[in-house]
Amino acid sequence: MAQIFRELDVRPILRGGGEPFPAIMEAVKSLGPGEGLRLIATFRPDPLFTVMDRRGFVGEANPLGDGDWEVHFSPRAKEVADVRLSMGAEEAAAWPDPLWQLDLTTLEAPEPMEKVLSRTELMEPGEVLFAVFSREPVFLMPELERRGHQWVGNYDEAGSAYRMLIRIGDLDHS
């Protein structure tokens, strides 16, 4: 799929003695998912590369002649989140939809672990629970496996919450 760019020509602003930065940032805010910005300026806007990098864009500049420049700011490819999984959870994509959802992001340890383990005690083998944590639940993972459950987890795109699917196993976990 070809990259879609919205165009912003700031040469009139610059030639008029104005500051184009607010117009550039407004254009960036208006971009849709996956869209890039084609900026045309009277100089190579080197300081803008750092600003755009912090906003998730990669810049490529090309001279147009007469001192003008064209810069394509493309959204940086998102890194695939590191997915962790328990033994036997390789086919998690085929699991049924979760019957339960728990948002545990506002709780302090050990409450998230206690709530998940409590919920799993009420579930039937094969049922799936979706839980969201404020951090990776490293102590919960081996406990779920010890009880015969499978799990798959990773951080969300922003890296601010850990998401986990837990499938109840057939072992007696009383």
The string of pLDDT tens digits covering residues 69-83 is 999 999 887 665 688
Domain ranges of the chain: 5-75, 84-167
Specify the pLDDT at position 34.
82
Region 5-75: CATH code: 3.30.110.40
Q: Which pTM was predicted?
A: 0.55
pLDDT for 170 equals 80
Across 34-47, average pLDDT: 94
Q: Which pLDDT score is estimated for 78?
A: 63
Give 23-31's long-range contacts (Cβ < 8 A, gap of 24+).
24/48, 28/52, 28/55, 28/57, 28/73, 30/6, 31/6
How does pLDDT run across 140-170, given as a tens digit for each residue? Answer: 999 999 999 999 999 887 778 899 999 999 8
Place of tokens 């607010």: 22
Residues near 77 by beta carbon (within 8 Å), at least 6 away in sequence: none
pLDDT of amino acid 174: 44
Mean pLDDT, the chain, rounded, equals: 91
Q: Do domains 5-75 and 84-167 have the same CATH topology?
A: yes
The pLDDT of residue 24: 96
CATH of 84-167, one of 3.30.750.24, 3.30.360.10, 3.30.110.40, 3.40.50.2300: 3.30.110.40
Give the tens place of pLDDT for each residue, 109-152: 999 999 999 999 999 999 999 999 999 999 999 999 999 999 99
Tens of pLDDT, residues 82-97: 888 999 898 898 999 9
Q: Is the pLDDT of residue 173 over 50?
A: no
Burial class (CB in 10 A: 0-12, 13-18, 19+), 61: middle
Share of the chain above pLDDT 70, in %: 94
- Residue 5 pLDDT > 80: yes
